[in-house]
Structure 1
């Protein structure tokens, strides 16, 4: 029987109380932040905020619990923005929305950092490792958001990013699932020279963990060739954004098939309108009704994008909707 799993791509909004506190602390410690030293007070504020979002996910009934990525001010660029071999330059628009990040310029070898592993370690102390979900930018998206001023070759840079992320994953505590967020595969699709290499890069990261790996794409649908190559990667599931684009995602599934597991982005991670759990379940059924084969081992029900964009109260409601939708789907499947 198919297992329905409620989860998110992480990157949560800060709790309202923490947002004000951290804004004040960062204003007072601007110099330390530029040099990479957050200080004890900021670290403590993030610890409290992390504990809160972990508790909110648990109370909502989510099947997979993420650390929340609350420190990721640079969004998906974060693992590079805090790296010693990277300089952060000017402010860059994050894809086509109104969020921004500091441009990470790689100036040296991307050796092990451990930044994300330490965050996940803190989360693992508060969450059961059978429920814990790690979140990382996919290697293609991270390379796309960054600038290479060291490796000098696009393919070599992508490979270096993949090796770096794989090294980070190897240091992770026990986790049940790993979500690799790959919006650039949609927004800035690789050309013929890179589309196969992009899948090989995802493969490199996926092989660094024994957890189930989801390559989650969003803000549209993958081009056919990119989707076909992604199926060759050693991932357990591909995540598809059925909020932004239904027809092309459905076509890709019908034409090329799928992995044994699938992640469906069915709740809108950017819209404050809160869906009904029954509507989420019905949307999943609509997808399956259109497919010739629907015996998926696992179906992840998730928001299509990060929930970073939502007011904190709406983010909480979206979690509850996803958890209830997965429960409804399980009951009906039984």
Structure 2
């Protein structure tokens, strides 16, 4: 019988009070970039905000609890932006939207950092075995960074993958790992590069015993990219059915999929709050289009990160995801 799991890709908006407090403490708003060297007051504010977003997920009834990545002012580039071997330089547009991050220029060997593991240790104390880790996928992280050390594109991607695998190895026990890979869509790898991207994802996925979900978004993967991604030893591939239904369906219809699937059916950027029954109906619609009778696990999630949303809307969308998964479970039974 299929298990329906409600979750998110992480990268949450800050609670309103935390946005105001941190703005005063840091002298700028969330998204305006920090160094990673927070003082005691800033650290305390983030800890309180983390506790609130974890409590909100629990209250909403989500099946997987993310730490929230509230400190990630550089968004997916964060794990590099706080690394000692990286110089964060000029402001760069985050894909094709109005968010920005500092260009992480890698100037030395990417050895172990432990920054994300520290966040997850704090989150694990407030969860009950349902912790979900979130990381940028290796291809996206390499795409968002600038290499001033390794000197070769393939070597750089491999170094990023090794770095992320080392970080994952230090994580506390977690149920699921989401690897966010929007660059697989936005900066699609070319011939040869697509196979290396799959190998890099496989390297990171092999560092954990948790279920690994690769979540591309802002569109659909090109056919060859998707076919190579299926070669990676991951449990689920995610699909952004908000942005592009037809091409995502085609990929699964033409090339098949993994035993599990992640369905991005709730809009992570639009403030319109979906109806849980409508989301449940979308799950059934996807099933009706696919050549498989059943997946072992279906993750119901937003199609993108949610830091675009006002905090109150974000909370409402958490409740929608949880209720939609419950309704799907009941319908399946």
TM-score, normalised with respect to structure 1 = 0.97
Q: Which runs of 5+ in 2 are unaligned?
A: none
Q: Residues of 2 paired with 1:220 and 1:126: CA distance?
A: 34
TM-score, normalised with respect to structure 2 = 0.98
1:39 aligns with: 39
Q: Residues of 1 paired with 2:245 and 2:238: CA distance?
A: 13
2:102 aligns with: 102
Report the Cα offset of residue 34 of structure 1. Answer: 6.5
| Contact 2:182-2:217 at 8 Å conserved across structures | yes
Runs of 4+ in 1 over 3 A off after TM superposition: 33-36
Q: Residues of 2 paired with 1:246 and 1:260: CA distance?
A: 20
Q: Residues of 1 paired with 2:192 and 2:108: CA distance?
A: 24
Report the Cα offset of residue 294 of structure 1. Answer: 2.9
2:68 aligns with: 68
After TM superposition, the structure 1 = structure 2 runs for residues 123-202 of structure 1, keeping only pairs within 5 Å, are 123-129=123-129, 131-202=130-201
Q: Residues of 1 paired with 2:320 and 2:38: CA distance?
A: 35
CA deviation string 1:91-112 (max 9, x = no partner): 0000001000000000000000
For these two proteins, the number of residue pairs brought into alignment is 329
Question: Is 1:293 aligned to 2:275, yes or no?
Answer: no
Report the Cα offset of residue 128 of structure 1. Answer: 1.2
Q: Residues of 2 paired with 1:128 and 1:74: CA distance?
A: 29
1:269 aligns with: 268
Question: Is 1:16 aligned to 2:16, yes or no?
Answer: yes
2:214 aligns with: 215
**Residues 36/308 of structure 1: CA separation in 2 closer, same or farther (3 Å cut):** closer
| Contact 2:134-2:178 at 8 Å conserved across structures | yes
Q: Which runs of 5+ in 1 are unaligned?
A: none
Q: Residues of 1 paired with 2:149 and 2:288: CA distance?
A: 49
**Residues 22/324 of structure 1: CA separation in 2 closer, same or farther (3 Å cut):** same
Q: Residues of 2 paired with 1:155 and 1:137: CA distance?
A: 18
After TM superposition, the structure 1 = structure 2 runs for residues 47-126 of structure 1, keeping only pairs within 5 Å, are 47-126=47-126
Q: Residues of 2 paired with 1:35 and 1:81: CA distance?
A: 8
